Amino acid sequence: MTGAGGSIVAARLDGASEDIPVDVPRVPAREAAEDELSDPMYHEHDPNLLERALDRFWDWVGDLLDGAAGAAPGGPLGLVVITLAVLGLGAALWWRLGTPQRTLRTPETLFGGAARSAAEHRTAAAAHAEAHRWTEAVQERMRALVRSLEDRAVLDPRPGRTADEAAADAGRVLPAHAGRLLSAARVFDDVTYGGRTADEGAYLTLCTLDLELETAKPVVAAGAGQEAAG
């Protein structure tokens, strides 16, 4: 087409070709964008690893509370009431039981101070029991029990022995009483190192065991008997 009309059409076609967008392939475009965004200037204010971990933790706590609020009767208000009830129960138990007194220190030796005989320990125990000082009575009766076993050569006298060690050693030669000996040692440890208090029942139980051990016959191991015979 020639003439004025042809010139107009040609001009329009040329303008349309300039408006057609350039089609850039996806992969090179993505790589170019990644290269650009990898510049440190874009990450100066990003949270560090600890901040990201804390954000995730608080998000988890928020989701947990939201779930609990949805499951609790009454929604968020019900969750608040339940939380206050649990805190009140914990405070009541703390007030009733007091601060735990048990410590993790190593038990001290069974005997302390000047050495006394079994009879002297029993006399001291009876005096404490008369005054209803059951904790001290239990301590002295346990010492009397062990001292009596040493006097009878059921146990060898050994400085520094603890109540648990004495009970274990005596239980090996008096197996019929092994369980009660260990229980007695546990009571002694509880009232001596654990901050607990004994009662009359604990004292009377220990007195009964002490009296029974007075007539108990130690069992000699088979190997020891054969060595003695040889």
Residue-by-residue pLDDT tens, the chain, 230 positions: 445 445 544 555 455 455 555 555 666 666 666 666 566 665 566 667 777 787 788 887 777 667 666 665 656 666 666 677 778 777 777 776 655 554 444 445 666 656 788 999 999 999 999 999 999 999 999 999 999 999 999 999 888 889 999 999 999 999 999 999 999 999 999 999 888 999 999 999 999 999 999 999 998 754 444 443 34
pLDDT given at position 155: 92
Question: Residue 101 and residue 79: Cα distance in Å, rounded?
Answer: 33
Label residue 165 left, alpha or beta by phi (over 0 means left) and psi (-120 to 50 means alpha). alpha
Q: Is the Cα torsion angle 154, 156, 160, 161 positive or negative in sign?
A: negative
Assess contact for 103 and 193: CB atoms under 8 A: yes
The alpha-carbon radius of gyration of the chain (Å, integer) is 42
* H-helix segments, the chain: 3-19, 26-37, 49-71, 76-97, 118-130, 134-151, 163-173, 178-192, 200-215, 222-229
pLDDT given at position 35: 66
Label residue 95 left, alpha or beta by phi (over 0 means left) and psi (-120 to 50 means alpha). alpha
Neighbours of 146 (CB within 10 A): 29
Question: Residue 172 and residue 178: Cα distance in Å, rounded?
Answer: 7
Residue with tokens 């509880």: 190
Assess contact for 198 and 138: CB atoms under 8 A: yes
164 by Cβ neighbours in 10 Å (0-12 / 13-18 / 19+) ranks as middle
